[in-house]
A and B are shown apart, each in its own frame.
Chain A
Amino acid sequence: MSDTVPLPTREHAHRLLERMVRIRRFEEACAELYQATKIRGFLHLYIGEEAVATGVMEALEPRDAIVATYREHGHALLRGTSAESIMAEMYGKQEGCSRGRGGSMHLYDDERRFYGGNAIVGGGIPLAVGLGLAEKLRGPGEDGYPVSACFFGEGAMAEGAFHESMNLAALWDLPVLFACENNRYAMGTALERSQSETDLTLKASAYRMPAWSVDGMDVLAVERAAKAAVDAIRHGGGPHFLELRTYRFRAHSMFDPELYREKDEVERWKERDPIALFRARLEEAGLLGEDDLAAIEKAAAEEVGRAIEFAENGTWEPVEQLVRFVTSEPEVTA
């Protein structure tokens, strides 16, 4: 899909830009808060990859289910989980979206059908297949199937879980979207150094699944592909696979000295920053004024500010509650 996707309405364009900027500013704050030791554990930033989550999530409805990886702050944020509860989770506060039990890698929001935050590479893929299986067993509604959308990195495609899941989803014709966020490195191991076939769509095609490769730095291209795939899946077209070609601007995690890639390479990719590219295109087309951009930045900054304040004011769960949520608690009826 090398052709240029036509620009959407001004309103929709602003929405896409705003959503990418929100992720970027939120995560920049996370990085600072990590240095300030407010956030601990592993912190994996999505900076550079925002067009992927933004474009794909645009194709999804509230009834659809989402399974993401440990690099999922942006996905949760766009799903509607509040920035406050996400930040509180990263602080480890009990007001967090997973009550402080999960942290950065395990954001959950059952109400919004957001099923993690899965930190075993490839481990979330079978889960997404099962969410799709449930819909298949219940049958399509009047508006088709709820779709199970699964995000994973290209590194996961070397795992058995990926191949088993692709086979199962295709064999059973399940309503699952496989969204591969190909950022070219499995931690520090380049795709060429870890997989014999680097054309990832061929792997999906081998399971008789429609598979498209998309410029993951172009939010409009991602959105168009995701909408086409989701529409087909929803109406009985079976599982689809998207390879979203992107790049991680920051280190794998906060512990990564980035010995495995050249600074030049990072700089070259930064020239294709999805936010800068989209902004430039909108400005060129006269769809984005300085005031518009300032308003988007202001809203994003305010959201981050509210999130930090909320997390700072959050409370520590009493340690007496340590062994809660190991098994389900009896429902208390009023």
Chain B
Amino acid sequence: MSEGAATETTRPTETTPATVTLSFREAMRAAMTEAMERDERVFLMGEDVGAYGGCYAVSMGMLDRFGPERVRDTPLSETAFVGAGIGAAMAGMRPIVEVMTVNFSLLALDQILNTAATVLHMSGGQCNVPLVIRMATGAGRQLAAQHSHSLEGWYAHIPGLRILAPATVEDARGMLGPALADPDPVLIFENAALYAMKAEIADPVEVDIAQAAVRRQGRDVSLITYGGSLHKTLSAAETLAEQGIDAEVLDLRVLRPLDDAAINGTVRKTHHAVLVDEGWRSGSLAAEVSARIVEGAFFDLDAPPARVCSEEVPIPYAKHMEEAALPQPDKIVAAVKAVLGADGTEGGDG
């Protein structure tokens, strides 16, 4: 199909939309390139985004294309360059600040929380901050505790921020544009395990940054997740299907503000909810979603919601230990069976 589209000599029409096959990282790069070509106020800065090509090769080649003013390598100064992004945004620019990983974003947390997220309110609505901050997140690559955090749930706690978690190539390609158009700060969390993932997507692609998306329709149980866990969850759903359990998979996509209608909608349909979240269980985003389900769809539930989160341990180095610490398809399958067995109307197989 893609080859056929590629050899078409006529312009694509609405009935035969053009497509393109991209990796997740290529999709992010294409989105940044497009934004910088369209709007000279947009620039990229962060550690090793230029000469190195990006720690995860997301901005490879962009320095040659746009030059060192607009693809700006920074020193290892997260507080200063995130704060500088805030200041530049307040002065009318549209910065994309890349913080190498969420782990290092803690060094800029003061700027993100005490300035970016609060200045609009503290100024009585005068000073908005049209800033996009991108960062890699997640575990699963044997990088041990200091390089494996999943803290997007923390950021989703903060009023004034929009938190995005693209889990598909389509979202990687499409979310940046509307994020840059947002008058307020937007944080994009890119699970590092996804960068090499490829998919064929529509070109151009248009996605929103407001709603959750059902990635798999199902009747029996709602699996609610986001980011890197989406693919583990879809894998679990296939395993469940083989066993006669029809799971719906909801990709939250936007972690703040949460799409309550979609969350409660899927629960009302299936009457069962299992939440999958790479964050630690206590105080997790999954806890928040669970609370919202209990508040908003309690009487539609046939069983208590269940959570599959990371174990309450710093992520260890050894492969088998790391795998044990994270949500995995088999844990999700087990949680679903427990939930379906818990209401006494639909027995599990064990």
Contact = CB atoms under 8 A, between A and B. Distances in A.
A327 to B, nearest CB: 5
Given A115-B90, A123-B115, A328 B84 contact: no
Given A106-B122, A118-B115, A123-B114, A167 B80 contact: yes
B83 A98 contact: no
Interface stretch (A17-25, A132-140, A188-196): A132-140
A135 B83 CA distance: 15
Nearest to B45: A133
Contact of B127 (A100, A108, A160, A168): A108
Interface residues of A, number: 46
B195 interface: no
A98 B160 contact: no
Chain A facing B: main interface SS: mixed
A174 B338 CA distance: 60
B123 A125 contact: no
A144 interface: no
A131 B125 contact: no
B79 A126 contact: yes
A101 B120 CA distance: 10
A171 B75 contact: yes
Contacts of B92: 134
B122 A116 contact: yes
Contacts of B184: 327-328
Interface string A143-161: 0000010000000000011
Contacts of A97: 124
B124 A101 contact: yes
B80 A129 contact: yes
A324 B88 CA distance: 24
A127 B89 CA distance: 10
B111 A123 contact: yes
A326 interface: yes
B87 A134 contact: yes
Interface residues of B, number: 41
Contacts of B243: none
B127 to A, nearest CB: 5
Interface in B169-209: 183-184
Contact of A134 (B91, B122, B162): B91
A164 interface: yes
B77 A115 contact: no
B85 interface: yes
A110 to B, nearest CB: 4
B128 interface: yes
B128 A328 contact: yes
A131 B83 contact: no
B83 A123 contact: yes
Contacts of B162: 327
B123 A98 contact: yes
B126 A108 contact: yes
Contacts of B280: none
A99 interface: yes
Interface string A80-102: 00000000000000001111111
A102 B123 contact: yes
Contacts of B87: 67, 115, 126-134, 148
A99 B123 CA distance: 7
B69 A137 contact: yes
A100 B261 CA distance: 34
A327 B121 CA distance: 8
B110 interface: yes
A137 B93 CA distance: 9
B43 interface: yes
A130 B123 contact: no
A116 B119 contact: yes
Contacts of B90: 115, 127, 130-131
Nearest to A127: B87
Contact of B115 (A108, A110, A127): A127
Given A108-B123, A126-B86, A130-B83, 4 more contacts: A126-B79, A130-B89, A130-B91, A135-B91
24 contacts: A100-B124, A101-B121, A108-B127, A110-B123, A110-B127, A118-B115, A120-B110, A123-B110, A125-B80, A126-B83, A127-B84, A127-B111, A128-B87, A131-B91, A132-B87, A133-B84, A133-B87, A134-B93, A137-B69, A148-B87, A160-B79, A164-B80, A325-B124, A328-B184
Interface of B: 43, 69-70, 74-75, 77, 79-93, 95, 110-111, 114-115, 119-128, 159-160, 162, 183-184
